[in-house]
Amino acid sequence: MTLMRIKVCVLVFCGLIFSSFNSWANETITADQRIKLCSFELSEEDRDAIGRVTYAEAGDQGDSGMAAVVHVILNRLISGEFGSSITQILNAKNQFEPATRAGGWKNLPSLTPRQRARIDTIINLSLDGRLPDLTNGSLYFQNPVIVAQREAAGQTPKGLIRFNGSTPAAVIRDHEFYSVIKNQKTIPVLVQAQKPPAPEPWDIYAIARRLNLQENASRDVFTRKATGVIQ
């Protein structure tokens, strides 16, 4: 594949995922959270770290599953309770299993250009306040089926399944997300997206973009049910 075709594929993909995310952007975001999100300036290394861990944790969970993990990482950064930097948060012992098993996020596989474009789109929309937090401000997540299997095999301590019976704030494919877990005093962080403003009558580009977003709404990569469960 030529370099030009790669660039075209990446641009097309980013357009599709942007359309999908924007079709969700119908909720409000608090002024305080918007200030915190917009104040973040993630370095190239930060983005690389988020991308590697996200793919290791949820590379098989679709766009919604990966966006959810990205939001958990950003929510932890906002909370300030898990570290003051992306590296501290991701390399914290027994917090993100792939990073812990690898001996640090830098030892996880590098991303392909397509994968990196996918992650950058999620990060950019999140920081811009245009991507809703599908996890409802979660700071923790797990695959309860895998945790149960490991507990049954004696590989993990008892009580870790659903964090000792905590109630998930969201269920997205195989993962359950929690804003608060039992025996943990944590204030939920709510990060949601703001609906984009209507285009000005003279802004032909913005009008065309909105029409394109509406036309592509049926191609949304997400499927959200009233129960709060995303498949």
Phi, psi of 230 (to 5 degrees): -110, 125
Residues 6+ away with beta carbon under 8 Å from 7: none
Q: What is the pLDDT of residue 122?
A: 95
Could you give the CA distance from residue 144 to residue 139 in angstroms, rounded to a whole number? 16
Q: Domain ranges in the chain?
A: 3-230
Count the neighbouring beta carbons within 10 Å of the beta carbon of residue 120. Answer: 17
The secondary structure of residue 111, as a DSSP letter, is P
Count the neighbouring beta carbons within 10 Å of the beta carbon of residue 15. Answer: 15
Q: What are the tokens at 1?
A: 């594949």
E strand or H helix at 17, and its extent? helix 3-22
Q: What is the pLDDT of residue 196?
A: 54
List, edge to edge, every strand of the sheet that includes 140-142: 140-142, 175-178, 170-172, 229-230
C-alpha distances out from residue 185 to 11, 48, 129, 179, 216, Å: 43, 31, 27, 10, 42
Q: What are the tokens at 34?
A: 């918007």
Angle at 115 between CA 218 and CA 74, to 5 degrees: 85
Could you give the CA distance from residue 138 to residue 44 in angstroms, rounded to a whole number? 25
Contact 170, 230 (CB under 8 A): yes
Q: What is the pLDDT of residue 41?
A: 84
Angle at 62 between CA 59 and CA 67, to 5 degrees: 85
Contact 177, 170 (CB under 8 A): yes
Q: What is the pLDDT of residue 29?
A: 46
Sign of the Cα torsion 142, 146, 149, 154 reads: negative
Model confidence pLDDT, tens digit, residues 175-196: 999 998 876 654 444 444 445 5
Query: From its phi and psi, is residue 92 left (phi > 0), alpha (psi between -120 and 50) or beta?
Result: beta
Could you give the CA distance from residue 66 to residue 46 in angstroms, rounded to a whole number? 16
Residue with tokens 């299997």, as numbered in its chain: 149
Q: What is the pLDDT of residue 213?
A: 53
Q: Which residues of the chain have pLDDT under 50?
A: 1-29, 186-194, 216-231
Q: What is the pLDDT of residue 52?
A: 98
The residue count for the chain: 231
Q: What is the pLDDT of residue 157?
A: 85
